[in-house]
Amino acid sequence: MDWMYPKPFTYSLSVQESDIDGLNHTNNTCYVKWCESVAWQHSSALGLTIDDYHRLDKGMALHKAEYEYFLPSYANEELVVATWLVRSDKKLRLERHFQINNIRSGDCIMKAKWWLICVSLSTGKATRFPKEFLACYSDHCFPIGEI
């Protein structure tokens, strides 16, 4: 696969009939859900799960998202969803990038960026990273620059 950065965290999926919209291709909301799914899988693989978020009363909340769609996908096509942690200010902000490719053709279907902010789950207010977030997220960023 031709990835925008080396060493992605990935998972593969097959486009289901239920993913297809009135235009006979994958609905854009599916790509958003797949990005969320790979982000959680990646976080869990790095050592932070949703249970840890609740235990710490901290979470990474989506502040801004950007999606670029290049090609459609269709029922029964096999896709690979990739993600990278790319930037962190090591205090409160984190940036995550995504890429979805068609496995058979290798074509890039979509690229996305998320800008996340650490928040207190009980108040919803921005808060500094706990040490667990620094170890899990900031220390595993692919270094493409500072926020």
pLDDT in tens, the chain (147 residues): 899 999 999 999 999 999 999 999 999 999 999 999 999 999 999 999 999 999 999 999 999 999 999 999 999 999 999 999 999 998 999 999 999 999 999 999 999 999 999 999 999 999 999 999 998 887 788 665 543
Q: What is the pLDDT of residue 143?
A: 62
Q: Report pTM.
A: 0.93
Q: Are 25 and 74 in contact (CB under 8 A)?
A: yes
Q: What is the pLDDT of residue 32?
A: 97
HEC secondary structure over 4-22: CCCCCEEEEEECCHHHECC
Beta bridge partners of 84: 97
Q: 9-140 architecture in CATH?
A: Roll (3.10)
7, with CB counted inside 10 A (0-12, 13-18, 19+), is: exposed
Q: What is the pLDDT of residue 146?
A: 44
Q: What is the pLDDT of residue 144?
A: 56
Q: What is the pLDDT of residue 147?
A: 39
What span, in angstroms and rounded, lies between the C-alpha atoms of 6 and 25?
A: 29
Instruction: Supply the DSSP string of 75-118, one letter for each residue.
Output: TT-EEEEEEEEEEE-SSSEEEEEEEEEETTT--EEEEEEEEEEE
